[in-house]
Chain A
Amino acid sequence: MPKRSDLEHKALQFIANTSDKGVLQSDLWRKLDASSREGSRISIKLENKGLIRRQRELFEGRWTYRLFPKRKPASINSIIDCPCLTCSESIRCGAYGAMSPNDCERLTEWLIHLTREEGEEQGDS
């Protein structure tokens, strides 16, 4: 049987990935292969720690809880392709440095790529 802290962590990760939709408490325990008693105890614990929000919901004639994350998981997706993230010149880059984001060719290329992508998306829709 998995340890309580492991289950707690898994449950939190699962709830965090559901974002605005949330997940029914009863569904979550099935997915985590835990008992409902164990599950409700962990969800109360997570709520008390301020990590999730529980909302009562009537589902198929039974009262259960829908669990929502209070915080979104940290994600690096918004900057993962930005050249500044992996730039070897970052130490020299700045207002008074040898390099500057104003005339950086790699940054310009990335921005042109983004504007093209945006244009294609608008063209598709």
Chain B
Amino acid sequence: MLTLVDDETLVKVAEVLGQEEAIQIIYTLKDADEITDDQIANKTGIRLNSVRKILYRLYDHSLVSLRRSRDQNTGWFIFHWKLQPDQLEGFIMNQKRYVLQKLDARLSYEKNHDFYHCGTPGCKRIPFEDAMELLFQCPTCDKPMMHSDNHKMVTILSQKVDQLRKELGE
């Protein structure tokens, strides 16, 4: 199947799902048609339980497929793993939908609230309703709180939401 995903994107997705170790595992899977977790652990030098953990994470997102066979001598199951790059596009789209949902919720919240802040780095912004109850005094550092302009945040959130909607074709 022809997919429009490049190696760079594949590596980035691996990084999201399991940092450096996942990248090594993805490269090993890419070079082999089908490979067992044991072989991956030997090739990469990553501990077998970490390999399995990452493989199951990739499997949860359908980025790898799994075939099970039984060892003739021991009777144990052997798991054969295979990369499914054609599922990557779907995974990316799902993640974009998920992030869009979160950013959209935040955008409505930012648009519908006025915020107050004491100006101390590390202290939280407080919405007007809560700030009023606190008599406009910061609950962390006790300094008086002033109105905090959030139009830049609304602008950047709107841009991101529009960009994601466009990329998702919505």
A12 to B86, CA, bound (A): 14
In the complex, are the beta carbons of B152 and A73 less than 8 A apart? Answer: no
Chain B positions 84 through 96: 1 when the CB is less than 8 Å from some CB of chain A, otherwise 0 = 0000110011011
Do most interface residues of chain B lie in helix, strand or loop, or is the interface mixed? helix
Quick check: A73 and B106 within 8 Å, CB to CB? no
B43 at interface (Cβ–Cβ under 8 A)? no
Q: How far is the CA of A56 from the CA of B88 in the complex (A)?
A: 33
B141 interfacial contact with A, CB 8 Å = no
- Contact assessment for B164 and A79 in the assembled complex, using a CB-CB cutoff below 8 Å: yes
A85 touches B95 (CB 8 A): yes
Per-residue CB contact flags for chain A residues 67-104 toward chain B (1 = under 8 Å, else 0) read: 00101111111111010111000100101000011111
Tell me, in angstroms, the Cα distance from A122 to B107 when the chains sit together: 22
The residues in B between 77 and 119 inclusive whose CB is less than 8 angstroms from any CB of A are 88-89, 92-93, 95-96, 98-99, 102-103, 105-106, 109
A115 an interface residue at 8 Å Cβ cutoff? yes
A123 within 8 A of B: no
**Measured CA separation A61–B105 after assembly (Å):** 56
Q: What distance in Å separates the Cβ of B113 from its nearest Cβ neighbour in chain A?
A: 9
Q: A76-B92, A78-B96, A78-B163 are in contact. Are A111 and B6 (CB under 8 A)?
A: no
Q: What residues on B are CB-neighbors of A112 within 8 Å?
A: 153
Whether A73 pairs with B95 at a CB distance below 8 angstroms is no
A51 CB within 8 Å of chain B: yes
| Pairwise interchain contact B88-A107, C-beta atoms closer than 8 A | no
A101 → chain B closest CB, angstroms: 4
Query: Is A17 at the interface (CB under 8 A from chain B)?
Result: yes
Per-residue A-contact encoding for B1-40, CB less than 8 Å = 1, 0 else:
0101110010011001000000000000000000000000
> How many A residues, CB 8 Å from partner?
40
- Knowing A76-B9, A107-B106 are in contact, say whether A71-B92 is a contact too (CB < 8 A): no
- In the bound complex, do residue A17 and residue B6 qualify as a contact, i.e. CB atoms below 8 Å apart? yes
Question: Is A51 a contact of B9 with CB atoms below 8 Å?
Answer: no
Does the CB pair B4–A72 fall under 8 Å? yes
Q: How far is the CA of A117 from the CA of B11 in the complex (A)?
A: 25
Cβ of B156 within 8 Å of any chain A Cβ, yes or no, is yes
User: B160 contacts which chain A residues (CB < 8 A)?
Assistant: 78, 114
Q: Is B88's CB under 8 angstroms from A74's CB?
A: yes
Contacts of B89 in A (CB 8 A): 74
Closest Cβ of chain A to B167, distance in Å, is: 6
Q: How far is the CB of A112 from chain B (nearest CB, A)?
A: 8
Chain A residues proximal to chain B, CB less than 8 Å: 8-9, 12-13, 16-17, 49, 51, 69, 71-80, 82, 84-86, 90, 93, 95, 100-105, 107-108, 111-112, 114-115, 118-119
